[in-house]
């Protein structure tokens, strides 16, 4: 798209990724280049960049999972803010999703930016906190009770999408497609009667481990702590990043006891949907790094 100012808004392509990462990295959010590549591999149609000549002045990264899409980054370069660039990029991305019939779009916003998304019919769902833990990841205070959890072999993901869909409310087909295209590096599970009653996923990048989603039927501090301790004992010695609903008292207690600190609180989960979107139930202790996964 070109307007009279000469600003071009075009689809993000592979040659843009290094500059896209540079803009994201300047915001100090802790993302890695490998994660930006991952977003691009998952969906090569929904992310866009705004160019003034050859100068990148804005970007929106987005993953269309099918019935739900997740907007990951919305960034406008300093000097270009409050000039309508963000509005035009959002309109472009949402128009593309609407043309494909995507009924639900979600994103995580800083509290001060929530009002910006009101004009696009996004509504507050719940607040989440961003937790981090630096290595080492030695045994924590919940070392016992791990015998009920198992590490699933690589590629053995039967039942994962069903269990995560049942707990989070995201469509099973969306979760299944995403997991096939971006399989987790580590999956811990508890199975009872042939059904997963607890799941905890993690993916490893160059300098960090992105953990989540995590759900447990009837979570309690002892069993949740044992599961988290088991995960930490199996992760590489890298930073661990987690998003947890602020209302989940079990998650807050366990993460605090296991050495996590809140890097940013009050992040707002927003949704634009043709149907109802509810806060995660108490069984969801952590959400995914990219929404559904």
Measured distance CA(270)–CA(281) in Å, rounded: 16
117 within domain boundaries: no
Pairing status of strand 208-216 against strand 239-245? parallel
- Identify whether residues 138 and 282 lie together within a single domain: yes
Residue 222, sorted as left (phi over 0), alpha (psi -120 to 50) or beta, turns out to be alpha
- Identify whether residues 170 and 93 lie together within a single domain: no
pLDDT in tens, 54-76: 999 999 999 999 999 999 999 99
CA distances from 34 to 105, 145, 174, 179, 239 (A): 24, 35, 22, 17, 15
Residues in the chain: 293
- Identify whether residues 153 and 80 lie together within a single domain: no
How many domains does the chain fold into? Answer: 2
CATH of the domain at 18: 3.40.630.30
pLDDT at 1: 43
Nearest to 122 by CA among 141, 137, 138, 109: 109
pLDDT at 2: 42
Domain containing 60 equals 7-102
Query: In degrees to the nearest 10, what's the CA dihedral of 64, 271, 260, 149?
Result: -60
Residues 6+ apart with CB under 8 A from 54: none
- Identify whether residues 135 and 98 lie together within a single domain: no
Measured distance CA(293)–CA(1) in Å, rounded: 31
Query: What is the DSSP track for the chain?
Result: -B-TT-EEEEE--GGGHHHHHHHHHTTT----HHHHHHHHHH-SSS-EEEEETTEEEEEEEEEE-SSEEEEEEEEE-TTSTTTTHHHHHHHHHHHHHHHTT--EEEEEE-GGGHHHHHTTT-EEEEEEEEEEEPSP----TT-S-GGG-EEPPTT--TTHHHHHHHHH---HHHHHHHHHHS--SEEEEEEETTEEEEEEEEEE-SSEEEEEEEEESS--HHHHHHHHHHHHHHS-SSEEEEEEETT-HHHHHHHHHTT-EEEEEEEEEEEEESS---PPPTTEEEBBTTBT-
In sign, the C-alpha dihedral spanning 94, 112, 273, 218 is: positive
pLDDT in tens, 154-187: 677 778 999 999 999 999 999 999 998 889 999 9
Of the three residues 50, 85, 102, the one that is the final residue of a domain is 102
> Scanning the structure block, which residue is given the tokens 């990724």?
17
For residue 201, pLDDT beyond 70: yes
- Identify whether residues 97 and 150 lie together within a single domain: no
pLDDT at 4: 37
230 within domain boundaries: yes
pLDDT in tens, 225-272: 999 999 999 999 999 999 999 999 999 999 999 999 999 999 999 999
- Identify whether residues 54 and 172 lie together within a single domain: no
243 within domain boundaries: yes
> Scanning the structure block, which residue is given the tokens 């202790």?
285
Which has the higher per-residue pLDDT, 211 or 138? Answer: 211
44 within domain boundaries: yes
- Identify whether residues 48 and 85 lie together within a single domain: yes
170 within domain boundaries: yes
pLDDT at 3: 43
- Identify whether residues 139 and 279 lie together within a single domain: yes
- Identify whether residues 81 and 210 lie together within a single domain: no
pLDDT at 155: 72
Token pair listed for 94: 């949402």
For residue 193, pLDDT beyond 70: yes
Average pLDDT over residues 108-123: 96
pLDDT in tens, 76-101: 999 999 999 999 999 999 999 999 99
118 within domain boundaries: no
Lowest model confidence (mean pLDDT) among 107-121, 154-168, 195-209: 154-168
- Identify whether residues 140 and 227 lie together within a single domain: yes
pLDDT at 5: 60
- Identify whether residues 84 and 158 lie together within a single domain: no
Nearest to 256 by CA among 292, 285, 213: 285
pLDDT in tens, 124-155: 999 999 999 999 997 778 766 666 899 988 67
- Identify whether residues 55 and 190 lie together within a single domain: no
């Amino acid at each position: 798209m070109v307007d009279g100012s000469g600003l071009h808004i075009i689809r993000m392509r592979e040659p843009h990724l290094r500059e896209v990462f540079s803009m994201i990295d300047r915001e100090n959010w802790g993302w890695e280049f490998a994660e930006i590549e991952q977003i691009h591999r998952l969906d090569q149609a929904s992310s866009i960049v705004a160019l003034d000549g050859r100068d990148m002045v804005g970007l929106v990264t987005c993953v269309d999972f099918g019935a739900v899409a997740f907007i990951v980054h919305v960034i406008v370069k300093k000097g270009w803010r409050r000039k309508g660039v963000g509005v035009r990029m959002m309109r472009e991305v949402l128009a593309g999703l609407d043309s494909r019939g995507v009924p639900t779009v979600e994103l995580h916003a800083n509290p001060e930016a929530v009002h910006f998304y009101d004009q696009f019919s996004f509504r507050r769902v719940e607040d989440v906190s961003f937790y981090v833990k630096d290595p080492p990841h030695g045994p924590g205070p919940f070392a016992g009770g791990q015998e009920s959890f198992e590490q699933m072999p690589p590629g053995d993901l039967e039942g994962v999408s069903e269990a995560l869909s049942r707990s989070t409310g995201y469509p099973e087909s969306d979760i299944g497609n995403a997991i096939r295209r971006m399989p987790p590096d580590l999956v811990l599970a508890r199975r009872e009667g042939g059904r997963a009653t607890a799941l905890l996923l993690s993916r490893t990048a160059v300098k960090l481990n992105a953990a989540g989603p995590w759900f447990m039927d009837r979570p309690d501090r002892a069993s949740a702590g044992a599961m988290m301790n088991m995960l930490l004992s199996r992760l590489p010695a890298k930073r661990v990043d987690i998003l947890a609903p602020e209302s989940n008292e079990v998650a807050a207690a366990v993460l605090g006891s296991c050495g996590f600190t809140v890097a940013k609180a009050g992040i707002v989960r927003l949704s634009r949907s043709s149907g109802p979107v509810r806060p995660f139930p108490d069984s969801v202790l952590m959400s995914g790094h990219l929404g559904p996964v």
